Amino acid sequence: MEYKNVLTTCPFCGTGCGFFLQVLDGKIVGVLPDKKHPVSQGSLCVKGWNAHGFIYHEDRLKSPLIRRNGKLVEASWDEAIELVATRLGEIKAKHGPDSIALLASAKATNEENYLFQKFGRAVIGTNNIDHCARL
């Protein structure tokens, strides 16, 4: 029998609210707001309160999916990244770097988003970068 709370940052948007994941016998069973968190000060929005909901959800994707012959099939990360890199390379070679746009995510961290735009500008060579909050 083990019950503990693990402090983490809400994955839903860029605000950075803090909450605890309640862990019972190694399984996440709920969210508790962190009363001493400098950003959220013990409050959460409806998304944060339900942030644990997807963890064990049956619809959660646990591996990349590649569309083969019109059907999505599970693939390894190496396969998926290889495919994306190859296709992006082909599109860039044929249509130029500005035929590609990148849409960053508020769910990712600052650092991930930094890397993402860097990838867009330095590797692909385009300034077509925007983020999901403007969708």
Q: Which residues bind another protein (CB under 8 A)?
A: 1-5, 7, 18, 20, 22, 24-25, 29-37, 42-46, 48-49
Question: Based on CB atoms, which residue is closest to another protein, 28 or 83?
Answer: 28
Question: Based on CB atoms, which residue is closest to another protein, 18 or 120?
Answer: 18
Question: Based on CB atoms, which residue is closest to another protein, 31 or 104?
Answer: 31
Report the nearest approach of another protein to the CB of residue 38 (Å).
Answer: 10
Report the nearest approach of another protein to the CB of residue 32 (Å).
Answer: 6
Mapping DSSP onto H, E and C, the string for the chain reads CCEEEEEEECCCCCCCCEEEEEEECCEEEEEEECCCCCCCCCCCCHHHHCCCCCCCCCCCCCCCEEEECCEEEECCHHHHHHHHHHHHHHHHHHHCHHHCCEEECCCCCHHHHHHHHHHHHHHHCCCCEEEHHHC
Report the nearest approach of another protein to the CB of residue 135 (Å).
Answer: 18
